[in-house]
Amino acid sequence: MKVLVSSCLLGEDVRYDGNNSSIAMGASFTFSQKEIFMDILCDNEIYSFCPEVSAGLGTPRLPAEIVSANKPFKVETNNEEDVTIPFLIGAKNALDTCKNDDIKVALLKSKSPSCGNLKIYDGTFSNTLVDGQGLTAKLLEENDVKVFNETQLEELKKFIETN
C-alpha cells in the first residue's frame, strides 16, 4: 500500500526546530513500536512529505500554532507573524500528492499545526493541547485519506492489512 509519511518521522531534519521526530531512532519509542514502524516501511511504498517545507518554509523556523481552527483559518508564529498561507499551501500540496499517486493513508506527526490528527496546541504558545486537527490532516481526512499519528502504529498496521 502507498503511505504518505511525515518526513520528520522518517528522520529528516525538517521540524520547526531543525530536528526530526524519528520513530526508528527515537528514545521515546519502544522496541515494539520501532519494529511495527519498520515493518510498515519495509512492506509498503513510502512517500516522505513535509507540508511546511513543501510550501517553502525554511528549517529551522519559528514555532507556529493554529489560532483559528475554523474558516477563516489562522496560523501564527510565536512572534505573531501570520503563516496561514504557507500552511494552507502545504496542506494542498499533500492532498495533491495523495491524489496524484492514489495514496489512501497517511502517517503524520502528532500535535503539529499541519499534521496533528487528534490534538493540536491551542494557539496560545502555553503548551496546552486541545482536541483538533492540523490543516494538512484535516484536508486529507476531508478527502478520504485516513490519517494516523506515530502513537497509532498498531492501528495503522491493522488498517493496511485490511485494505
Alpha carbon distance 32, 21 (integer Å): 17
pLDDT of res. 135: 98
Q: Please state whether the predicted TM-score (pTM) of the whole model is above 0.75.
A: yes
- The predicted pLDDT at position 100 comes to 98
Is residue 9 a contact partner of residue 21, using CB atoms and an 8 Å limit?
Answer: yes
> Whole-angstrom Cα distance, residue 90 to residue 99?
14
What are the tens digits of pLDDT across the range 93-124? Answer: 999 999 999 999 999 999 999 999 999 999 99
Query: What is the arithmetic mean of pLDDT over 142-163?
Result: 98
pLDDT digit string (tens) for 65-101? 999 998 999 999 999 999 999 999 999 999 999 999 9
Extents of the domains making up the chain: 2-162
Q: What is the pLDDT of residue 38?
A: 97
Residue that is written with C-alpha cell 488498517 in the block: 159
Residue pLDDT, tens place only, 33-58: 999 999 999 999 999 999 999 999 99
